[in-house]
């Protein structure tokens, strides 16, 4: 058997402890599969004396993860500290400077600094791998990088934030408003320390930016992801969408268009009967479409100790087996600076608006849409005990600029109360 791969694990929280558990309990199987032992030599965390449900006594301890990354008895640094700067970034940089391969679950770090870190690693012939960073246990990074390497990728889609999917599902199932379900999710410990990372779509946007880079050979461009969170999704929209056969999902979509890379993470309507529509609770789904393979749908746990550690182990095993892949599927120095296509291509839209309840109000709204070249597919008006009339319109395919022009014109009609809600209906056929 070959020499062992010696791991230094920085961060012993949910994921770090999970990785230690798998490496410890499955040592024999891992060694057989990799053809060499996988050994932990050193670990680091903020607090040494804490019960993590694992025996850390066989490993050297470092208070400072940067020192761990410089140790001579470490070949591969596993960064599980988290955060887009500070100790996580210094640890990865130190590992690369000291000639160590790196495995990380840190989507924020890679979405913001992935290009520079991958270039630094690859310039030294090192690996920097991140399966756990996107949709946790779902092996979507490997599917895209390896399994679909022969395809032109036509579209990448996904529900990649379990917390948001939990909130939207629970709002629908229990008929509860956003604020109540947000508080519940918080009490259950679902939310990140900074909840806007989840509900603002930022965490899912980081993940989409990483997948888009692999899919389209472009530099990671998180700033280019058009982000909209779920904070404004109301129980009314969830109910009306359901009435019309749709579910509301925080959906990420990336595709290369003639105008450049379109990447967006926003609440969308999807058919209730589609796999995305049927994704309930804190589960994730990644949909990959390739010209040769067609559509691949992967569903599973996007977070949690076991699923995330499983993905970290996949990267460790890849490196241990001697497979040396570029971070983003091709050398980082060859990734193109992508052009951004800000508005998505034409699509049907769901519009909800409150109108004053007087003759001709609906006609004025319809003519704003008509003047912008937008055709109406379906329209519904709901019971309204008060003097405002809630109206739902589903349009035929329309470009977002035309829709925005129609909404601007509606504001001038004097029949609109408040701002309309416009949600894209994502076409899945």
Ligand X SMILES: N[C@@H](CC=O)C(=O)O
Residue 262 pairs in a beta bridge with 255
Binding residues for ligand X (CB under 6 A): 136, 161-163, 192, 198, 203, 302-303
Neighbours of 214 (CB within 10 A): 25
Smallest separation (angstroms) from ligand NAI to the CB of 149: 24
Asked if residue 62 belongs to a known ligand binding site, the reply is: no
Structure tokens at 365: 């709204």
Q: Which is nearer to ligand NAI, 11 or 271 (CB)?
A: 11
- Whole-number Å distance between alpha carbons of 369 and 14: 50
Residue nearest to ligand X (CB): 163
Positive or negative, the CA dihedral 158, 163, 166, 167 is negative
Which residues make beta-bridge pairs with 389? Answer: 355
Catalytic residues: 207
Site string for ligand NAI, 255-294 (x = CB under 6 A): ----------------------------------------
Q: Please give the structure tokens belonging to residue 258.
A: 């003639």
From 160, 113, 96, 164, select the one nearest 132 (Cα to Cα): 160
Nearest to 38 by CA among 29, 46, 27, 48: 27
90 near ligand NAI, judged by CB under 6 A: no
Is 107 a known ligand-binding residue? yes
Residues in the chain: 429
Q: How far apart are CA 98 and CA 413, in angstroms?
A: 66
Q: Does 229 bind ligand NAI (CB under 6 A)?
A: no
Q: Is 14 annotated as a binding residue?
A: yes
Kindly indicate which of the ranges 14-22, 122-130, 149-157, 208-216 contains the residues binding ligand NAI, using the contact rule CB under 6 A: 14-22
Does 403 bind ligand NAI (CB under 6 A)? Our answer is no
Judged by CB under 6 A, the chain residues 97 through 126 that form the site for ligand NAI are 105-107
**For residue 309, which of 64, 76, 28, 80 has the smallest C-alpha distance?**
80
Rounded-to-integer distance, Cα 73 and Cα 65, Å: 14
131 binds, among ligand NAI, Na ion, ligand X, none (CB under 5 to 8 A by kind): Na ion
Find out whether 106 and 36 touch, Cβ atoms under 8 Å. Answer: no
**Residue with Cβ nearer ligand NAI (65 or 139):** 65
Say if residue 147 carries a ligand binding annotation: no
Min CB(36)–ligand X separation in Å: 30
311 near Na ion, judged by CB under 5 A:
yes
Q: Is 12 annotated as a binding residue?
A: yes
If the CB atoms of residues 101 and 131 are measured against Na ion, the closer one turns out to be: 131
CB of 184 to ligand X, least distance (A): 14
On whether 358 is known to bind a ligand per the annotation, the reply is: no
Please give the helix or strand (H or E) that residue 299 lies within, else none: strand 294-301
Q: Binding site, residues?
A: 10-17, 107, 192
- Applying CB under 6 A, which residues contact ligand NAI? 11-16, 44-47, 65, 80-82, 87, 105-107, 132-133, 136, 303-304, 308
């Amino acid at each position: 058997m070959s020499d062992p791969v010696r791991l230094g694990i920085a961060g012993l929280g949910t994921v770090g402890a999970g990785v230690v558990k798998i490496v410890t309990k499955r040592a024999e199987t891992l060694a057989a599969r990799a053809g060499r032992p996988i050994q932990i030599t050193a670990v680091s965390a903020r607090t040494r004396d804490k019960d993590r449900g694992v025996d850390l006594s066989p490993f050297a301890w470092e208070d400072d993860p940067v020192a761990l990354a410089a140790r001579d008895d470490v070949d591969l640094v596993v960064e599980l500290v988290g955060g887009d700067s500070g100790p996580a970034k210094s640890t990865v940089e130190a590992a690369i400077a000291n000639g160590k391969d790196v495995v990380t679950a840190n989507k924020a770090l890679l979405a913001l600094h992935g290009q520079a870190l991958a270039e630094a690693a690859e310039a030294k012939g090192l690996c920097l791998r991140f399966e756990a960073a996107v949709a946790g246990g779902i092996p979507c990074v490997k599917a895209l990088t390896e399994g679909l390497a022969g395809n032109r990728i036509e579209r990448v889609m996904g529900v990649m934030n379990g917390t948001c999917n939990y909130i939207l599902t629970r709002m629908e199932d229990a008929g509860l408003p956003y604020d109540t379900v947000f508080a519940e999710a918080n009490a259950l410990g679902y939310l990140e320390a900074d909840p806007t990372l989840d509900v603002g779509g930022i965490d899912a946007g980081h993940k989409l930016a990483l997948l888009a880079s692999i899919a389209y050979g472009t530099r990671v461009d998180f700033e280019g992801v058009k982000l909209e969170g779920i904070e404004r999704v109301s129980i009314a929209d969830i109910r009306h969408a359901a009435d019309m056969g749709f579910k509301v999902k925080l959906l990420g979509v990336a595709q290369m268009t003639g105008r450049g890379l379109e990447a967006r993470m926003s609440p969308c309507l999807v058919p209730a009967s589609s796999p995305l529509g049927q994704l309930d609770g804190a589960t994730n789904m990644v949909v990959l479409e390739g010209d040769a393979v067609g559509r691949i749908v992967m569903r599973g746990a996007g977070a949690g100790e076991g699923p995330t550690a499983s993905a970290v182990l996949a990267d460790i095993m890849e490196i241990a087996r001697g497979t040396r892949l570029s971070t983003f599927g091709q050398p980082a120095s060859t990734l193109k600076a992508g052009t951004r296509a800000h508005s998505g291509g034409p699509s049907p839209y769901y519009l909800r608006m409150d109108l004053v309840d007087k003759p001709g109000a609906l006609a004025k709204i319809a003519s704003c849409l008509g003047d912008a070249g937008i055709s109406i597919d379906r329209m519904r008006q709901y019971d309204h005990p008060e003097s405002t009339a809630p109206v739902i319109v589903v349009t035929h395919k329309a470009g977002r600029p035309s829709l925005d022009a129609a909404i601007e014109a509606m504001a001038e009609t004097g029949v609109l109360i408040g701002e309309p809600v416009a949600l894209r209906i994502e076409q899945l056929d």
